[in-house]
Structure 1
Amino acid sequence: MTTRRALAWAHGCLSVQSLGGMFGPVLFLLPDGRQVSPLHVAPWGNDPKRGTLPEILQELRGEWPCVPFGSDAERSLPAGWSATGESFDGAGVPHGHSSNVQWIWGDCDDRQITMECHYPEDHPIRLLRRHIMPDSKAAAVDLTLEIEGRRPCRLPIGLHPTFRLSPRPGSVVIEPGSYDWVWSFPGDVEPGAALFALNRRWSSLKSVETRDGAAHDAAQVPLVEDTEDLLQLSGIDGSLALHYRDEGFRARLSWQKEHFPSLLLWYSNRGRKAYPWDARHVALGVEPIASAFDLGPAISTGANALASSGIATAIAFEPDQTFTTHYRLSVEAAPMG
């Protein structure tokens, strides 16, 4: 059964749930007194039918870690992509064991929330530990993820912040830090719902080619088109902001670029028609990763176009070492329009 913990501080309040270790929603108080809540909560969270869904979807919300990131599955991919890397029993679980089970609460007080997720005995990962701590002096939350391996392995990993979007198309502007390339997915994320040209790369998010050959500004969301698609920004400097122009604020995400050298943008824009998406789901995933899209361990640790270009698409873990990474979500007032 999913349980929740909440925490309030001078600049806001937040909630964390045991299922998936998901953080959100969070309400921030801006200096001018306005309240803003940038993280997404899926609209089917109280639907009695949600129990038929994979666990990761049942109460989908906010941000959570994915270890491993993505999942292994049968896919048809172009040249330069193959499932020749490391795999294991359980590699087909969507976004890893921790995204689909109840986490155990650790120390929780008026300053922080901690939780743990223990992996199955035959899994290469032993444990995840999560610390969520508001900044007492700012409208910001600092998060820490610790990963303990059970045996030597290489895995794609990622963080999965998902942001709500204002209703008007183009009302939110994606403002990434510096990056090298924008890569498009080497297939269809959702059959019949692709927008961006297949298996390509460009130098700017503001000019990305669509499948019909038109130039598209992918930095302005929500999109007009009904689509479900992915773009990966490689060589990114560990920062991104979302400017909510109709609401007059920015949400900022920062992370350690040496751990997550790419950022995956998940455009969920009414493209999925089946339950629970029902052609109504609109959100933006802003996901720091060491992974080849969400293609799972066998592809991310094997032959793929990103790794061939020098982009790290997996992280090495050892049983006697704890991998620790820090990241931060904050908000600030910004101009309207």
Structure 2
Amino acid sequence: MPQSWSLDWSHGQVTVHAGAAALGRTRFRLEDGRSVEPFHEAPWITAGETVEPGLENLRGDWPCLPFGRLYGADDPLVGAWRGLVDAPLPAAAHPLGASDRLLHGFSAAAPWTLVSLTAEAITLGLDYPGDSPIERITRRIRPIDGEAGLDVSVEIQVRHRCIRPFGFHPNFALCGEPGSFRIEPGPYRFGLTHPVAEPAARARPDSRFSALSDVAVKTGGSERFDRLPFADDREDILQLCGIEGGVHLVDEHERVAWDLSWDTDKLPSCLLWMSNRGRKFPPWNGRHLCVGVEPVASAFDFGSVIGAGDNPIALAGVRTAIEIEPETPLTLGYRIRGHALAGG
């Protein structure tokens, strides 16, 4: 059994797993006395199935460094994005090591070690391979005393100056009827649909939008993408670029609202991964249902080559990677807080 650590606080219990330092089942006690568990856990975890590294710990949240994966010529990117898969890297993005080629980086595939477990926080650490400019990442999970909330952070140390896309990956369970889970983001400069010709996607690739309630679709016209789960099977990724403050989530099924907030100067976008039973191949098998609400400095899930370069989002003035200096470790984080809805 993979190792995990748990911490109780005044308003719940949080569990963190060694694999990917992923948040496991986390219980929040709301002000009306109810306890809720908002985070998703992939069905293959519950079933005890063996899957590829990077997917075996698909739980409530984990840090992704670098965020995404390296896309290549065989991936069906469209528009201006297609020519970026082999674009030259900025000097500070070199070298790309084997850990840059993993899905969501070494942090998502490796076992972490416990640094400390106190009454206030769980802290885990991970040393990166020697061929990576990243030296070490430390992750801290701190419950907010007296509230149904958590502060989640990482500190990143590097061997030399480097540029990499980064993201947190909070995944929320979708347990209610279609449309019962609402996404209400803070103001953002513009939204983009995934610029990939993905058969399982509903949104028209590489389309700009200004409201989640009005997103262009491949069949013509537009549809709402702010009410989940969808009635039909699909797999869509949208990016809210230049977001301010964070995202408000309303789960009518569980009668709870969640506020996800972070420093949007450091992580200026929110990636929305709408996994709605659209992937029919193993290990997904048409059974995977969740929404990722992901604070990122990234260009979609395109990894270090595109994220660190001059892609359309970066050229529009929204950073798609973080820069880290060896003398100055970088700290990134987010906060989640839950509140009962009236009548819950």
SS, match of residue 223 in structure 1:
coil
Deviation at 1:48, TM superposition (A): 4.3
TM-score by length of 2: 0.93
Amino acid in structure 2 at the alignment position of 1:120: P
Pick from 68, 71, 81: which aligns with 1:70? 68
Q: Verify the 8 A CA contact 2:249 2:258 in the aligned structure 1.
A: yes
SS, match of residue 24 in structure 2:
strand
Q: Verify the 8 A CA contact 1:41 1:60 in the aligned structure 2.
A: yes
Deviation at 1:76, TM superposition (A): 3.7
Q: Verify the 8 A CA contact 1:247 1:336 in the aligned structure 2.
A: no
SS, match of residue 321 in structure 1:
coil
CA distance in 2, matches of 1:235, 1:48: 39
Residue 97 of structure 2 corresponds to which residue in structure 1? 89
Residue 26 of structure 1 corresponds to which residue in structure 2? 26
CA distance in 2, matches of 1:151, 1:179: 33
Q: Deviations over 1:238-260 (max 9, x none)?
A: 31121011221101111110111
TM alignment of 1:153-168, pairs within 5 A: 153-168=162-177
Whether 2:235 is the aligned partner of 1:260: answer no
SS, match of residue 49 in structure 1:
coil
CA distance in 1, matches of 2:335, 2:245: 10
CA distance in 2, matches of 1:196, 1:232: 12
Could you tell me which runs of 5 or more consecutive residues in structure 1 were left unpaired when the two chains were aligned.
none
- Number of aligned positions between the proteins: 333
Deviation at 1:121, TM superposition (A): 0.4
Q: Deviations over 1:174-223 (max 9, x none)?
A: 011111211011113xx420110110101111100111113111000001
CA distance in 1, matches of 2:47, 2:28: 27
Deviation at 1:287, TM superposition (A): 0.4
> Identity percentage over the alignment?
38
SS, match of residue 307 in structure 1:
helix
Could you tell me which runs of 5 or more consecutive residues in structure 2 were left unpaired when the two chains were aligned.
none
SS, match of residue 61 in structure 1:
coil
Whether 2:298 is the aligned partner of 1:291: answer yes
CA distance in 1, matches of 2:149, 2:41: 19
TM-score by length of 1: 0.95
Compared CA separation, residues 153 and 201, structure 1 to 2 (3 A):
same
Amino acid in structure 2 at the alignment position of 1:66: C
Q: Verify the 8 A CA contact 1:238 1:260 in the aligned structure 2.
A: no
Pick from 149, 160, 179: which aligns with 1:170? 179
Q: Verify the 8 A CA contact 1:230 1:267 in the aligned structure 2.
A: yes
SS, match of residue 259 in structure 2:
strand
Residue 218 of structure 1 corresponds to which residue in structure 2? 225
SS, match of residue 178 in structure 2:
coil
Whether 2:326 is the aligned partner of 1:328: answer no
Residue 4 of structure 2 corresponds to which residue in structure 1? 4
CA distance in 2, matches of 1:9, 1:93: 35
Amino acid in structure 1 at the alignment position of 2:326: P
CA distance in 1, matches of 2:298, 2:63: 13
TM alignment of 1:161-240, pairs within 5 A: 161-188=170-197, 191-240=198-247
Amino acid in structure 1 at the alignment position of 2:310: A
Deviation at 1:24, TM superposition (A): 2.3
Residue 138 of structure 1 corresponds to which residue in structure 2? 147
Amino acid in structure 2 at the alignment position of 1:200: S
Deviation at 1:321, TM superposition (A): 1.3
Comparing 246-255 with 168-177, greater Cα deviation is found at 246-255
Whether 2:326 is the aligned partner of 1:319: answer yes
CA distance in 2, matches of 1:336, 1:205: 27
Root-mean-square deviation (CA, aligned residues, Å) is: 1.5
CA distance in 2, matches of 1:246, 1:62: 18
Deviation at 1:336, TM superposition (A): 5.8
Q: Verify the 8 A CA contact 1:268 1:284 in the aligned structure 2.
A: yes
TM alignment of 1:109-148, pairs within 5 A: 109-148=118-157
SS, match of residue 310 in structure 2:
coil
Q: Verify the 8 A CA contact 1:44 1:59 in the aligned structure 2.
A: no
Deviation at 1:166, TM superposition (A): 2.2
